[in-house]
Amino acid sequence: MNLALEVGQVGTAEAVQFFILAPIAVIAALGILFVKKAVHAALMLVSIMIILAIFYIANGAAFLGVVQIIVYTGAVMMLFLFILMLVGVDSSDSLKENLKGIRPVAITLAIGISLLLISLLSRAQISEQAPDLAVLNSEGNVEGIARLLFTEYVWAFEVVSALLITAAVGAMVLAHSEKSREISRTQRYKSVARFRGDSLATAAGLPGSGVYARHNALDVPALLPDGSASELSVSKTLQARGDVIDQSKFALDQLPGVNEADESSAVEREEER
């Protein structure tokens, strides 16, 4: 008890700050696990990062506190929020595993990391007196962090950087999905496909609505309901030039059930047209 009081004793203001902000950080951390919407989880993570920045500044690490707010809270988390807005706040992630057997590997790694953290915490030396912050920051907070980071802790710094790169590559691999090979059949795609097909017979498109025909060329007449060819459907210019194809091979046979009266009425309607 005496050792805990001697080593862990802090000022009244710092103690009040800790006992107010620490429960909020713990509640927000639990909320990340249990909330249903990704936007709410991202906002809770932002609050945790801001509280950590306050703790850094209170312990004399002003540079780390500012970096925590500018880089992580202001840049990384805002990037998360932008991605969520682009994807959609109501979109749900697929529960289908892209990589087979990834779940046992993840469980094994989680257990291993937990045991490693427990081992490190059990061997921590809490009996040593904390160094004086004024001495550590005598040359400047940024200079002190840089000296320790690139001399005594350079190996740990490189390992963490490699771990972050591996995590980024792993996230891209897990999030990658095969692009659908089906091309969007837009109007431009259909127009190009008509001319690049095996035959140019479909290049001019299909006949208009209500037109009976067996071909879509301009020199082929349309067909009347009784199956006969309509001379009025072909341009007179083509007729004068003699470019009209013989109509007989395009005419349909007489439809069953069509009597002579129907044929004569069809001819009269054609003459009226």
pLDDT score recorded for residue 89: 60
pLDDT score recorded for residue 98: 65
Neighbouring CB atoms inside 10 A of 178's CB total: 6
Residue type present at position 238: L
What's the pLDDT band for 263 if we cut at 50, 70, 90? very low
Rounded to an integer, the average pLDDT of 57-65 is 85
What's the pLDDT band for 172 if we cut at 50, 70, 90? confident
Average pLDDT, the chain: 75
Q: Which residue has the tokens 């087979």?
A: 100
Classify 230 as helix, strand or coil. Answer: strand
Confidence (pTM) = 0.48
What are the E-state strand segments in 126-226? 222-223
Rounded to an integer, the average pLDDT of 93-109 is 76
* Distance separating alpha carbons of residues 27 and 24, to the nearest angstrom: 5
Please check the confidence at residue 52 and state whether its pLDDT lies above 80: yes
Domains of the chain: 1-90+114-129 (1.20.120.1200), 131-175 (no CATH), 204-272 (no CATH)
DSSP assignments along 196-228, one per residue? SSS-GGGTT-PPPTT-B-S---TTS-EE-TTS-
Rounded to an integer, the average pLDDT of 103-119 is 90
Residue 40 belongs to what H/E stretch? Answer: helix 38-58
Residue type present at position 110: A
Q: Are 42 and 80 in contact, with CB atoms under 8 Å apart?
A: yes
Q: Are 236 and 246 in contact, with CB atoms under 8 Å apart?
A: no
Q: Are 225 and 266 in contact, with CB atoms under 8 Å apart?
A: yes
Which class for 185: exposed (0-12), middle (13-18), buried (19 or more C-beta within 10 A)? exposed
What's the pLDDT band for 257 if we cut at 50, 70, 90? very low
Classify 20 as helix, strand or coil. Answer: helix
Nearest to 199 by CA among 182, 175, 216: 216
